[in-house]
Amino acid sequence: MKTRGIAVIGSGSIADQHLGAIRDIPHAKLVGVYSRGAEKAKKIGEREKCRWTTDYQELLRDPSVEIVDIVTSSGSHGPITREALEAGKHVLVEKPMAMTSAEAGQLIALARSKSLTLGVVSQRRFEDQHEAVKKVLDSGGLGKLLLVEVSCPYYRDQAYYDSADWRGKIATDGGAIMNQGIHSVDLMLWFGGPAKTVTGRIATQTHRMEAEDLALAIVTFENGAFGTIMASTSIQPGFTPCLNLYGEKGSIKLEGAAITHWTVPGVPKPEFAAPQASAAVRGPLLASHQMHQRQILDVLAAIEERRTPRVSGEDGRRAVALIEGLYAASKSGTPVLL
């Protein structure tokens, strides 16, 4: 496989996961990194032995950069993705890919018009237990899917939201479901298929911020299944996210990376070597970069094979659209057609 140059734009806590993943991929070369502050940019550049800059446009102009990995604040994902695509770069962008589904759709169309790969980070799809569940669902092992339950009972203190001027704002961050809960929303859509409608409520219960710290949703799927979502950053002391699937033939329950219940006729419960990294319940995740590495490897393969990556721009758009629909439903008090 051809070695491809990658630039990482952003230097927040999640950047280390991406940098570690790239470091361990033989056919990926880290060309440069960007941070707003020179001191941090220099520190990362020297540690990773690559170019560093406080002007990401320099990296977009660099012909040795083929792929741009965007790990900046949420509200900047869409604009920087657009600039990278316009510069002719393939893009892997952290979730959410944009703050509105309309903007996400524009990015998908732009990537398509330029024959560029656009992937959205949803590394939890690459965890072994989730791949095992997907295989069962695709084979009809649970029969007709009846219900998908998602619970994200996280905790973030006020200091977390006060730590950066973009946190907790609707336009630049989103709240408990757009930021923390979106991974579980993506898994729900991956397992359940396209959503048809969403209704529910959002609220800000315990934090001084604009966005929600509690989201509750009921989802209907095109296949007739239902889904429920609870996402919060006010639950003391913070608990592991759960995802439960109920079909006419059996049930599967997941708690973080652990399969806690498995009733699938004719299919034994899969066993894995060790529990894998899951979502952080109390603060930004500092864990193994293995799943990010798997996703970056998939993006590299997608470029090489000229195929759609396993987590595409359209997948990212659907997650944003569902959350956007929940916001609208909470405001209007009526279900929203997706």
| For residue 108, pLDDT beyond 90 | yes
What mean pLDDT comes out for the span 135-143? Answer: 98
Residue 245 CA, chain-centre distance (Å), reads: 20
Q: Which fold does the domain 124-282+319-337 belong to in CATH?
A: Dihydrodipicolinate Reductase; domain 2 (3.30.360)
Measure the CA–CA gap between 178 and 68, rounded to whole angstroms: 23
Measure the CA–CA gap between 314 and 128, rounded to whole angstroms: 23
Strand 195-203 relative to strand 336-337, pairing: antiparallel
CATH 3.40.50.720 maps onto the chain at 4-123+291-312
Collect all residues with Cβ–Cβ distance below 8 Å to 34 and sequence separation of at least 6.
7, 8, 9, 10, 11, 41, 52, 53, 54, 55, 56, 59
Per-residue model confidence (pLDDT) at position 288: 76
Per-residue model confidence (pLDDT) at position 225: 99
Per-residue model confidence (pLDDT) at position 286: 46
List pLDDT tens digits, range 63-91: 999 999 999 999 999 999 999 999 999 99
**Considering only CA atoms, which of 21, 29, 38 is closest in space to residue 11?**
38
List pLDDT tens digits, range 291-336: 999 999 999 999 999 999 999 999 999 999 999 999 999 999 999 9
Q: How many CB atoms lie within 10 A of CB 301?
A: 14
What is the pLDDT confidence band of residue 210, given thresholds at 50, 70 and 90?
Answer: very high
What is the pLDDT confidence band of residue 279, given thresholds at 50, 70 and 90?
Answer: low
Contact between 187 and 123 under an 8 Å Cβ cutoff? The reply is: no
Measure the CA–CA gap between 253 and 243, rounded to whole angstroms: 6
**In CATH, what class is 4-123+291-312?**
alpha beta
Residue 97 CA, chain-centre distance (Å), reads: 8
Percent share of the chain, pLDDT over 70? 96
Measure the CA–CA gap between 177 and 61, rounded to whole angstroms: 35
List of E strands, the chain: 4-9, 28-34, 51-53, 67-70, 90-93, 118-120, 145-153, 195-203, 214-221, 226-232, 242-247, 251-255, 258-263, 336-337
CATH 3.30.360.10 maps onto the chain at 124-282+319-337
